[in-house]
Structure 1
């Protein structure tokens, strides 16, 4: 004789969905704020060299990136197989590098313009003469903060 009797006919209560829209919008805003859009579409082959002494750039809003390498498959038939310079999504000649970099610097907020770093992402098979020409053009416009982007690793892997 048990004192407690369980009711087996009683239905279970329904799950409240009142807070579901709040959760969905909270997740939506989270992903909208955290997601970073890709800036440039790479049009050159860019196999970066290895280096042992590297330092990470902390403030990406102060960086202008220059890519140097052979054009990728759709562009190599038009432009040839020699290394080209890409700034943003455009191919430029060596003589245009200074003016394009000045345009990119002027697009940045005024308080950041003195702290701009030019990041060179150079394919490890690119000719050093082209890199010297680019550096000479950067000197002409007084863009003296230059960074070479590399992978961390054994430098002897660059000899391949």
Structure 2
């Protein structure tokens, strides 16, 4: 009869790292698909007014956003408390809107240029004079497709 000898060390075998790259790439792919990229950092107070007849925009990649309102508390010390216009990630003058529209058009393909929509995200407490100035600059830039972004609800809530 033969004798079996037991190992005295009892050490665990090394962990196989052969599947580690597969796991890393699977996690990388998951986070690339699941992550939503933020387009702009909002530098203004933006409490949108309510409206009862609201439609969703279908193609958000054909939308240029113009924000207007008082600077948020973080930026009031630097920019004051007067309502301002924000284009992308910076404050701008109303006269800069035309150049902004031209640059946005140039960044799109030729067949999409006439389908661009300008969406105005304007705080409910913003002076209507500023809104009129923005609309005048949009007409000068020949941006006639305008959308007002609102919250869905009863329009009477705007008076409260």
Q: TM-score range by the shorter chain?
A: 0.7 to 0.9
- TM-superposed deviation, 1:58: 1.4
Please give the alpha-carbon distance, in whole angstroms, between the structure 2 residues aligned to 1:114 and 1:159.
Answer: 36
Alignment match, 1:151: 151
Please give the alpha-carbon distance, in whole angstroms, between the structure 1 residues aligned to 2:22 and 2:111.
Answer: 39
Alignment of 1:62-77 (within 5 A): 62-77=62-77
Greater shift, 60-69 or 29-38, is seen at 29-38
Alignment match, 2:12: none
Structure 1: runs of 5+ lacking an equivalent: 1-15
Q: TM-score, normalised by structure 2?
A: 0.82
Please give the alpha-carbon distance, in whole angstroms, between the structure 2 residues aligned to 1:30 and 1:106.
Answer: 33
* 1:112 lines up with 2:120 in the alignment: no
Please give the alpha-carbon distance, in whole angstroms, between the structure 1 residues aligned to 2:128 and 2:31.
Answer: 42
**Partner SS, residue 43 of structure 2:** coil
- TM-superposed deviation, 1:93: 0.9
Alignment match, 1:86: 86
Alignment match, 2:39: 39
| Count of residues in correspondence between the two structures | 146
Q: TM-score, normalised by structure 1?
A: 0.82
Structure 2: runs of 5+ lacking an equivalent: 1-15
- TM-superposed deviation, 1:55: 0.6
Deviation digits for residues 18-58 of structure 1 (CA, Å, limit 9, x no counterpart): 66653552342132034221011000000001111101111
Please give the alpha-carbon distance, in whole angstroms, between the structure 1 residues aligned to 2:17 and 2:89.
Answer: 47
* 1:59 lines up with 2:59 in the alignment: yes
RMSD of Structure 2 on Structure 1 (CA): 1.9
